[in-house]
């Protein structure tokens, strides 16, 4: 059994280590959340291609919405932790994390915009369907940007995933 001085010293060292890596943890968390969003988007595509039942599609969409909410929270956490410094991140990782943050924010914004436009569609006029199609194209572009940002961050932090 360790004495209290040793335990206290180890606890203090862990606290210092946690402080130094707080931004790294927030960035890695954002990576994992973004990666899961990309995976869920691919899953929705597969379910649509397979023409599965409405129940499965609704369940997959529900999981996707939850993942986007978690990603938005991860972005907020990263922004809050990293607002004053870049402690724990080297220059390249910091830039990759910021790129991931921007791509994640754009993806969550586009996802939300698509959901709002879809919910507002009471009548399917050609004009409204055209607007909705544009929103989904912008979301698809945001998904590609998010995938690219995830890949770039993973190259620098392969064990973060």
Nearest to 90 by CA among 145, 32, 23, 136: 23
Write the CB contacts of 72 (distance below 8 Å, at least 6 apart in sequence): 104, 108
14-26 pLDDT per residue, tens: 444 444 379 999 9
% the chain with pLDDT above 70:
82
Q: How far is CA 40 from CA 46, 52, 110, in A?
A: 10, 16, 15
Class of 4-160 per CATH?
mainly alpha
pLDDT in tens, 80-133: 998 877 877 899 999 999 999 999 999 999 999 888 777 666 566 666 777 778
The full 3-state SS of 112-131, as one line of letters, equals HHHHHHHHHCCCCCHHHHHH
CA angle 13, 15, 17 (to 5 degrees): 70
pLDDT value for 144:
96
Model's pTM, two decimal places? 0.81
Q: How far apart are the first and last CA of the chain?
A: 35
Indicate the domain borders of the chain: 4-160
């Amino acid at each position: 059994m360790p004495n209290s001085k040793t335990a206290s010293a180890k606890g203090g060292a862990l606290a210092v280590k946690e402080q130094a890596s707080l931004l790294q943890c927030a960035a890695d968390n954002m990576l994992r959340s973004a990666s899961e969003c990309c995976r869920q988007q691919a899953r929705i595509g597969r379910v649509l291609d397979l023409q599965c039942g409405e129940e499965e599609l609704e369940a997959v969409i529900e999981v996707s919405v939850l993942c986007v909410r978690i990603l938005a929270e991860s972005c907020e956490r990263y922004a809050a932790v990293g607002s004053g410094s870049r402690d724990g991140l080297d220059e390249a990782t910091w830039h990759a994390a910021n790129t991931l943050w921007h791509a994640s924010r754009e993806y969550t914004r586009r996802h939300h915009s698509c959901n709002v436009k879809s919910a507002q569609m009471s009548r399917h006029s050609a004009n409204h369907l055209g607007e909705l199609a544009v929103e989904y194209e912008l979301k698809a572009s945001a998904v590609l940007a998010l995938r690219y940002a995830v890949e770039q961050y993973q190259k620098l932090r392969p064990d973060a995933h």
